[in-house]
Amino acid sequence: MPKVIYVGEAGDERAVDATVGESVMTTAVKNGVPGVIGECGGNASCATCHVWVREDFLPLVGTPNDTEEDLLDMGVADRREGSRLSCQIKMTDELDGLTVVVPADQY
């Protein structure tokens, strides 16, 4: 079972077991990870699940599609190279140990 590591606003890390095929957002919401809200339920229409993917995992998670790009441009105050909507990242065994930072402005 792959794990996702969520890094909080104080730098605290929380490792959570993920189910292959579920999104990083769903995993966070099911496990009560602070700051990952997922208001739209994972339909890529709100940006309340924004995270920064750590650099070493960027090649593995792929790039945002056009809809995600638009949401990141319009709905995220501090967009960075690793900015992604966690609802758009589906867990795989290859993503075991995926580390994402939850931006402080989402708390």
Q: Single out the residue of 43, 9, 8 nearest to residue 25, CA to CA.
A: 43
Residue 63: per-residue pLDDT = 95
Query: Span 3-106: which CATH code?
Result: 3.10.20.30
Cβ–Cβ contacts within 10 Å for residue 26, how many? 21
Average pLDDT score, the chain: 95
Mean local confidence (pLDDT), 4-23: 96
pLDDT at 54 (0 to 100): 97
Q: Which of 54, 55, 63, 70 is nearest to 89 (CA)?
A: 63
Q: Is the per-residue pLDDT at 56 higher than 90?
A: yes
In this prediction, residue 9 carries a pLDDT of 83
pLDDT band with cut points at 50, 70 and 90 for residue 100: very high
pLDDT in tens, 64-91: 999 999 999 998 989 999 999 999 999 9
Contact 28, 42 (CB under 8 A): no
Q: For residue 37, is it left (φ>0), alpha (ψ between -120 and 50) or beta? A: alpha
